[in-house]
């Protein structure tokens, strides 16, 4: 009874709202085992209700089952997938290097008509 007296406010239970979301999940391991399980998400909200008696304390629980099944596949990628990703990384490195080279070349004024040339090409053409 003394739990609310030290706050010096009327002891009114709050309105609580809980949301429980369930997602069915199928987990395929690399060894061929299939595990059917569920992923849960819980949210909890509290709202104070007025102490004038216009609302009653309540607990609302919303239970939501997702119609979508999450499928988790733990198999390693194929060799072709690995080679494709490796080519993409190497191509990206070349593209960024060429772009940076062009910016440096442009920043130091080389390459334009009447512009000064830098590097090995200036020695060969001079």
| Phi–psi pair at 58, nearest 5 degrees | -155, 160
Q: Tens digit of pLDDT for each residue in 14-23?
A: 777 788 888 8
Mean pLDDT of 31-56: 81
Smallest CA-to-CA distance from 22 within 81, 79, 58, 66 is with 66
State how far the Cα of 87 lies from the Cα of 98, in Å rounded to an integer: 17
Q: Tens digit of pLDDT for each residue in 39-51?
A: 888 888 777 777 7
With a threshold of 0.95, does the pTM exceed it? no
The pLDDT, as a whole number, for residue 15 is 72
Burial class (CB within 10 angstroms; exposed 0-12, middle 13-18, buried 19+) of 78? exposed
């Amino acid at each position: 009874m003394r739990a609310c007296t030290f706050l010096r406010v009327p002891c009114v239970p709050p309105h609580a709202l809980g949301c429980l979301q369930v997602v069915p999940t199928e987990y395929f391991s690399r060894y061929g085992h299939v595990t059917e399980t569920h992923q849960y998400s819980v949210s909890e909200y509290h709202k104070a209700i007025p102490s004038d008696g216009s609302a009653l304390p309540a607990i609302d629980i919303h239970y939501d089952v997702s119609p979508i099944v999450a499928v988790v596949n733990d198999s390693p990628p194929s060799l072709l997938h690995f080679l494709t990703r490796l080519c993409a990384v190497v191509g990206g490195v070349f593209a960024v290097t060429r772009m940076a080279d062009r910016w440096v070349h442009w920043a130091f004024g080389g390459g334009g008509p009447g512009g000064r040339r830098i590097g090995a090409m200036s020695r060969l053409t001079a």
